[in-house]
Amino acid sequence: MKRIVTPLNKGQIKQLNSGDEVLLSGVIYTARDQAHKRLDETIKRGRKLPIDLKGAVIYYCGPTRTPKGKVIGSCGPTTSSRMDAFTPALLKKVGLKAMIGKGARSKDVVRAIKKHKAVYFLAYAGCGALIAGYIKKAKTILYKDLGAEAIHRLEVKDLPLIVAIDSRGRDIYS
C-alpha cells in the first residue's frame, strides 16, 4: 500500500503502477458532467479557470445531502467515461494530474494520461457511504446552482484507491 498526498507531483506519479493500491490524503475536488462542461467552456474561451487545478485530483462524484452531524453525505464514484470528452484538455491546458472514478477510459484519455504524466484511480464502487468516512472536511466552492454536481473541495485522509491507469499508459482494464 502506497501513501500519497496532494497536490501530486511528477515524483509521486512516476512511482505509481497500474494495479497499485494507494491511500490518498489531502485536497481533492468533485466534478461531474455539468461542472466539466462549464470548465471546458471556460478553457475554450481562453479564460482562466475559477479554481487552480494544477497538480490537482478530480473525483467524479456528486455527494448526496449531508446528514445532520456528518461531514458529507454518501459520495461514491460515477462512471468516468462520461468525462472523457473533457479530460484531455484539463490535463493539457490546466495541469490536472489525477482523476478518481469507476470504469474504463477511452483510448484518447489513456493517451492523454500517458502524454501528460497523469494517473487515473479507481474508487470502490457501491461504497459511497463508506468513502464518506474518509472525508474530513467538505465545502461547496463552485457552480452551486448544479446541486450535487457542483464542485466541492474535499479534504481526505487515507482514501483507499487503486491505480487503474499509470503515467506510462498501463491500463488495468487491458
pLDDT one-digit tens code per residue, 98-156: 999 999 999 999 999 999 999 999 999 888 999 999 999 999 999 999 998 999 999 99
Residue 140 lies in a domain: yes
Residues with Cβ within 8 Å of 145's Cβ and at least 6 positions away in sequence, in order, are none
pLDDT over 70 percentage in the chain: 100
Residue 28 counted as domain residue: yes
CA 113 → CA 62, 79, 132, 152, 163, distances in Å? 23, 17, 27, 23, 12
Burial of 112 (0-12, 13-18, 19+ CB in 10 A): buried
Structural domain total, the chain: 1
Cβ–Cβ < 8 Å for 129, 75: no
Q: pLDDT digits over 35-60, tens only?
A: 999 999 999 999 999 999 999 999 99
Cβ–Cβ contacts within 10 Å for residue 54, how many? 10
82 is a domain residue = yes
Tell me if 84 is assigned to some domain.
yes
Confirm whether 173 is domain-assigned. no
Whether 170 maps to a domain, the answer reads: no
pLDDT of 174 > 90? The answer is no
* Residue 89: per-residue pLDDT: 96
Burial category of 99 from C-beta neighbours within 10 Å (exposed 0-12, middle 13-18, buried 19 and up): buried
pLDDT of residue 86: 97
Residue 174 lies in a domain: no
58-105 tens-digit pLDDT: 999 999 999 999 999 999 999 999 999 999 999 999 999 999 999 999
Q: What is the CATH number of the domain that holds 158?
A: 3.20.130.10
pLDDT by residue (tens digit) across 9-29?
999 999 999 999 999 999 999
Q: Is residue 171 part of a domain?
A: no
pLDDT of residue 126: 85
| Domain range for 113 | 2-165
